Amino acid sequence: MLRLPNRLLVVTFMVILIPCHAAASDCDSSSAKTRFPNVERELASWMVRTEAEISPTLLDKWNREFCAAAIEVGQTRRLSDRAIDEKAPLVIRDFVDREVATDRKSSAMGAILLDKLGTPAFARPIAKVSVKIEMQYAHDVDQIVVDGKAYRRAAFLVLLPGKVLIKGMKSGTEVCSAELTLVAGVAAKFTC
């Protein structure tokens, strides 16, 4: 007959499952738009509401920045992409409004996201990366062309800093043009 010892040593193995999100570096243009579709929708809505045009490069940059911030916040707060995407319109509106207002400080996308989720975050102001060009029209213009990229007639443009050639067009004919040097965070004006 087999006797068992009075004390049994029970060994327990615990398996801890940690949800694994894609790294922030996985926020390329197409995956950022797929994971957080409200970002692109709100950027488009913001442009219509403010009668503005934003350069495609900035649209892509801000989409990827939101994605990276969302992944980081999602991992630390254990939130789904969907839960974070629901806050995207509030975050984008606040972020872009700050970016184009010369009298307001910019704030990091992640800090704004945390604030909209109800967790105030310490946020140091960050340097602005864009330039707001206020448009004034003396001529009838139906299109603005900046360095070969066409935009609809707008109250203002939001572009990256640097030298640009800007033209006002009417039915494909140039009616005005100027070369501007744009500095991040400093508003510019173009009269056509």
> Which amino acid type is present at position 37?
P
pLDDT digits (tens, 9 = 90+) for 100-128: 998 888 888 999 999 898 887 666 778 89
- Residue 30: the pLDDT is 84
Residue 9 has pLDDT above 90, yes or no: no
User: What residues does each domain of the chain span?
Assistant: 25-116, 131-191
The chain-wide mean pLDDT, for the chain, equals: 86
Segment among 14-23, 41-50, 75-84 with least mean pLDDT: 14-23
Among 145, 135, 134, smallest CA distance to 173 is for: 145
Provide CB contacts within 8 A for 10, sequence distance 6+.
Answer: none
Do 130 and 58 contact (CB within 8 A), yes or no?
yes
Reported pTM: 0.81
Q: What is the pLDDT of residue 6?
A: 53
Q: What is the largest CA-CA distance in the chain?
A: 106
pLDDT tens across 26-65, in order? 788 888 888 999 999 999 999 999 999 999 999 999 999 9
